[in-house]
Structure formats: C-alpha cells, structure tokens
Amino acid sequence: MTPTDVRTMIKNYPWSPGSGITLLLSLDFGTVHSTAAVQIVLESCGSVSGNVKFEEGLFVGTRQRQSYRVPSKVAITSRCARALGKPKRCVLIFGHDVDKALEDGCITNENVFDLLKLFLFPEYASDDSAAAGDRLMKLTRAKHDALIEKIARVHGGKVLYRDRLDEPEWEVRDMGDVVVAYLHFIWHNTLLEVAHKYNIDTDNPNPEFENLCQIFANKMHVAVSVPTVWQRETQEHFLNLLGRAGFPGSTAVVSEAVSAAIGHLNMISDFESHTSESENMIVADIGGATLGVAGVRKYFRDGLARFGEIVPEKGAINGSLLVNQAIKKYLDDKTNRQTLKTVLKHLHWKEDEWSQHIKDGIEEAKRLFKNTDSTCLIPLPGLGRVRDLEPQICRSLLPGSQLTVNGLIIGNDVLTKIHDEWLKEIVDVIRECQNDFQQRCPKQPLPALKLCGWGSLPRHVLQKCTDVFQGVPVTLLEDQVTPIVANGNLVTLLRADLFFEVPACRSYGIRHDIPWQDVDEAHQRRSELEEARTDDGDYLLDRALWVVEKGQSLIHPTKTFTVQSKKRLSAPNMKRAFPFEWKIDIVASDSLQVGSTDKYVSVSQALAANTIQIVGRHSMKIQQQDCKIKAIRWDPALQEPAYIEFEFRVRVDCSTIRPHIHISIPKSNGIFREKLAATGKGKSEPCHRISASLGSFLAHTTFHDNEKARLDVDGELSEQDKEARMDTD
C-alpha cells in the first residue's frame, strides 16, 4: 500500500462497507519520554494471523527532532496578540517545543514541569516519604502544585492548549487538566504526522484534512501500556483522562512488561510454526519511575499460537530516576558551596542553570555508565571558560572530582555504589519471579531474562544482572533504537487472540426462508412453525440462518465459519424471469437464545421485539450466465412468476482486521459439486459471490469494554511441565 493509495483512500472517505483502512495507535506514556506509533491496515486484508510486520509504522516526533521520543514535559509561557489588541495569554507548550524554547531563551527552567505521568500514581498524593520512590513523588507533586498555583495566580486559571491565539482558552484546575492537555497534544501531533506523511495540508481548511480527522475519530483503535503496579482504579483514571483528550472509548491497556515481551516474541518467534516448542522468558521493564516484571510463555494450542503467564506479574516504584535522584543528592551534599559560587561567577551562570545542567548530565552519564573505568564523566555544556580557572578550584568543587571543559569527572566507585544500592530491589523482584517459576516447574530450566527500558536503562544493569544471575541467559532487548513496548502494543491490537479467547459478541446470520427439511426434527412438530410454512410445505418463511452464535470462540485454526442451505427465489414479475434479485438482510442478535429456544423465531417478530437487528442490507443480481440455473414456471393457471432454486453457502471469515460475511452460489447449475467438509470448508469452486463487513475484529474482543489484555494464567503446559507438576503433587 503506497502513500498515494492511502491518500486516495483518505480523499474518498467515507468508504463502502468492508473497504478502506483502519488506524492502529500504540501509546507508551512514559515518565521521561512518550512514544506514539501508528500502523495503517487495509480493512479487507489486514491479517490477524501470524507475525505482525511494521512496514508502515509512523512515530510521533520524527519531523521535529529526528526522534520518535517525545519528552513528557510541559512549560508555560505568555504570548500577546498585539495585532488584535488583546492582553498576554498563558500558553502550554509540550515535548520538543519545550527544549527548543529553552535553547532559544524564550522560557526559563522554573517554568518547565516534567514527570507528568507521576500524577497518576496513588503514591503521588501520599504524604509518606519513607521510601525513595515516595520522596520522588512528593518532590514532583510540590513542583506540579507550583505550576497550578502560578496558572491560577498569574493567568486566572486559563490557558491555551496550542500556540494559536485564536483558539479558545481552557480552564486548568489541577494537574489532571495539564495531563489531559499533554495527551491531547500527543493525539493532535499524531494526526499532524500522518497528514504530513501523506502530503495533506493542515494549515488551511480542506476536505482531505477534515476526512482524516473523521478517520481518526471513527477508524482508530488504541492500545496503551501501563505500569504493572497500577491497579484497576488507577487504570480507569488514566482511561478517563485519555477519553477527555480525544482517545476512543475502546482504548485498551496492556502491562508494559507484557507488551515488551509480546513485541520481542513477535520479532524473534514464529506464530504459525505449529510444531515449534514453547518459549519461556522473564521480562524486566525498567522505566523512569517503575519496575515491571512479567513471565511470559509462547505456546501452541489447537494449532494456534497463544501467550501464557508463567509467573504472576510483579512490580515496584523503583525506576531509574531514583538513580538520578541519588546522584544529585550526593553531588549537592558533597559540593563545596564557596567553590561553586566562584565557578558560577566565572561562567556567568545562575545556580538554577547549574542545577539543570547537572540534572541533564546525570541522565546522560547514567545511561552510558559501565563499571569498567576508574572515573565517570557527567557531561556539562558551555564550559570553555573553565580553562581560565585555577586547577585547584577545578579539583576542589567536591572530593575526588575534576571540573573540565567537557564536564564534571567523579570517581566510578560513587556511581557503582549508587547503582548497586538501587539494583537490590530489582534483583529481589526478579528472584521472586524465578522462585515462583521453580516452584511451578521444578524440572524446567529457569527462563531467559530479558531487560528493557528504552531510553533510560543504565548499561550497568545488564552487566550486574549477568553477574548475579549466572547460568541464565541475560539479554538487553533494545538499544535506544527500537521502541519495543510501542511495537508490543501494536501486536496486541492486531493479535488480540494471542492473549485470550475472542468470543463473538453477537450472533450473525442472514434472513432466510429455511428449507423445511433443514428444520430440526424436534421443532417440526411446533404448530406455529407449521403455520409459517409455504403453501407447498417446502420452506419455513422469514427465519434466520445463523452462522456464528454469540459466545462462540472466533479463534480456531481456520478462523472461518460456514453453513450451507438452499434458496428459492421468485422472479420480479410474470413477464420475465432473469435477472433474479436476491435481497439479503444480514442480521445480528445480542441474545444468547438464538441458537437454542428461539432458533426459529420469526425475524419480523424479533425485529419488533428488538432481539434481532438488521446490520446490513445487500442485494445480489443473478443472471442466467452467472450460475446456469434454469428458471421454473408454475402452472400458468396460478398466475405466479417463475422461480429458481439453488444451493448457497454463507461464510464468516475472521482472519482479517475486519471480519467479513461471504455469500456464494455455485456457477455449476446452482449445485455444489464438493460437499461441505466437517471443518466448514469445502474445496474452492467457481461461485457467484457478494461480501460484506461485520465491523472491526477488535469489537469482538474484551478490548471493546476497556478490559486489560490478560495472559492465559493456566496456559497449556508442555509434557515436561506436566511431568514436573506430577512429581510435586
């Protein structure tokens, strides 16, 4: 699908049923950075089988800074519409725009506020400061409170979400409103990135951009990754904020550690190799604020790949920002204040500038830290004037340090001690998961350990875990290039069946006069059905031929459901026979009864009672050359038009991103040569067909109700696992 094809589809929106595209959006709302990735899928052929390929991925932020990581930060600034004669107004700016405004001197650090995600944690509102994670929350809350207070005091609680003075102002009462503004920025920026890729003008009103906005509103499915430590209430709060920001109500949540495992397995594994062995892994996702550990298994059941849980998910508020906090505290405690004043005066810096440069330098030093050299550099910008300082001053800033033109050099032993202290809890949580696995499967080797933490994971973690967990393969899943969690979210959207059964949320079929011989014998004695038969007794009028029943799993090796029946169709008038027109109503029902007690309910009565709905109306014209069916004439005295009889099959195909219902009439005299197999599939033969969409595959999953993507807790065990279980019973 070329960019030209996509743009043509956008231009021609709305589309006919079953055509067009579906947009899949993955959001990884990180403490330090966020990532939004878009996958565009053809509705007619986007597969929900096998591995997911990322050929059309779009990442927010690509144009601005050649990076798809958007800093999770906001700043406030004032803008004045002088030409309009209006006073200054408060504008919220986000992400890379904040960094650019800082570089240009348009704003100062005191007006920059980061770590927006921490607002969502229950610990954010707690006054308990015993744990390091809670202290981080408390410090962040104080900074955020200052933002809200300033907006209220200076700007009357009103802000602009975007830097457009003709936009209406928004009220900011608490940090939740700011987070909504940031999420709205991500959503809107994603829209602009898609428009940019397909050369759609966004500056002036035009039909193409309006269509794209409608597609985002109506054809977008979203999965977001959340920390393992978030309970259901916190997830619901987050989903509510996403809803306020414009995200669809069907947005699904996935554990960050699970999403990382899914993304990794999608890249290295084969979801269609039915003979391959199961794969076990323990994934530790180390983010800025949290640690999440998940034990994930890929296995096969009934010839289909599945994901299972091998140990319960565990987590802690022990992200790598605590390393930054500990290093910053060490530097603040050990710095000679008098020497610092001398250095700042020489550099023409203020203390808050020094503090911000140290903060940024710590982040860079942490990511690159390896315990191999005797010293470590904390890079700092603009230190050329340091050459003019006396060497004694450069060495006396803090014990064992050296200030150079490149930054501050400190002893490696300091960073090693801080990292190792922080890693204790991470090692403990991973060990708990390993112990859980050994209790469950004592004869199985420990699963491989996979580490990820895109953009914030210190390299020392890989080194330390390799030393601690000897005998277990330890791998770093990413190297700041591949957004593994973002990819995992997209795999989740396309392969929801990997997590859980996907039951049909409704029953689907067509309105049909059922051949009496096909009515179950137990129902043939019902008087109301006898009365509804045709005069010749051959057909039961106005019933539903059900293909998929509510609650039936849509997941099995073929992902198709097929029924076969016979149809009698009358000509439109007495004078001519062909072409015949078959008017087809596709019906659906939320009732569980359609496959049992109400199996033969009159469709007209069910429509009146609203237990059956018509979800599509289609027609199929049948020319004599289409199927070579001979028209049959009634006795001329009866004054009835001619009719044809033919066999047909109705197939529901759930193997694409939008399940379709296909209706086929064999071209060989209206009679199938090959019998319908027990699997529901017959051999392919020439047919006259029509097709119609049943809506998105995702609408049939629990994602539709905002349920979390859960792994199979009791996934099918291998023979070795079963033996191990038996030995411990």
> Is the model's pLDDT at 652 over the cut of 50?
yes
pLDDT bin (cut points 50, 70, 90) of residue 720 is very low
Question: Where in the sequence of the chain do the CATH 3.30.420.40 domains occur?
Answer: 251-500+707-729
Q: What residues contact residue 194 under an 8 Å CB cut-off, 6+ apart?
A: 23, 38, 58, 212, 216
> Is the model's pLDDT at 251 over the cut of 90?
no
Instruction: Calculate the CA 649 to chain-centre distance.
Output: 36
Q: What is the spatial distance between Cα 86 and Cα 601, in angstroms, rounded to a whole number?
A: 68
| String of DSSP letters for 293-330 | EEEEEEEEETTEEEEEEEEEEEEES--THHHHHHHHHH
pLDDT bin (cut points 50, 70, 90) of residue 727 is very low
Query: Mean pLDDT throughout 306-317?
Result: 90
Q: Decide the pairing of beta strands 279-286 and 448-452.
A: parallel
> Is the model's pLDDT at 449 over the cut of 90?
yes
Beta bridge partners of 512: 543
Percent of the chain past pLDDT 90, that is, above it, reads 40
Q: Decide the pairing of beta strands 252-255 and 291-301.
A: unpaired
> Is the model's pLDDT at 703 over the cut of 70?
no
State how far the alpha carbon of 641 is from the alpha carbons of 357, 447, 570, 579, 622, in Å.
89, 72, 6, 13, 16
Considering the entire predicted model, what is its pTM? 0.84
**pLDDT (tens digit per residue) in 452-478:** 886 567 778 888 999 999 999 999 887
The answer to whether 714 and 674 are in contact (CB under 8 A) is no
Residue 728: what pLDDT? Answer: 36
- Token couple for 581: 């027109």
Percent of the chain past pLDDT 70, that is, above it, reads 88
The one-letter code for the residue type at 323 is V
Q: 251-500+707-729 adopts what CATH topology?
A: Nucleotidyltransferase; domain 5 (3.30.420)
Q: What residues contact residue 470 under an 8 Å CB cut-off, 6+ apart?
A: none
> Is the model's pLDDT at 47 over the cut of 80?
no
Q: Assess whether the previous peptide bond of 579 is cis (omega < 30° from 0).
A: yes
Residue 722: what pLDDT? Answer: 43
Query: Mean pLDDT throughout 629-641?
Result: 77
Q: What residues contact residue 358 under an 8 Å CB cut-off, 6+ apart?
A: 328, 331, 378, 380, 408
Residue 682: what pLDDT? Answer: 56
Residue 729: what pLDDT? Answer: 35
The answer to whether 444 and 281 are in contact (CB under 8 A) is no
- Token couple for 285: 């996702």
**pLDDT (tens digit per residue) in 491-537:** 888 887 787 677 788 889 999 999 999 998 888 888 889 889 998 88
pLDDT bin (cut points 50, 70, 90) of residue 540 is very high
Residue 342: what pLDDT? Answer: 92
Burial of 219 per CB tally in 10 Å (0-12, 13-18, 19+): buried
Query: Mean pLDDT throughout 388-393?
Result: 88
Query: Mean pLDDT throughout 199-219?
Result: 91
Residue 656: what pLDDT? Answer: 80
Which range, 102-111, 211-220, 470-479, has the best average confidence (pLDDT)?
211-220
CA dihedral 669, 670, 676, 682 (to 10 degrees): 70
**pLDDT (tens digit per residue) in 116-131:** 999 999 989 877 655 6
The one-letter code for the residue type at 442 is P
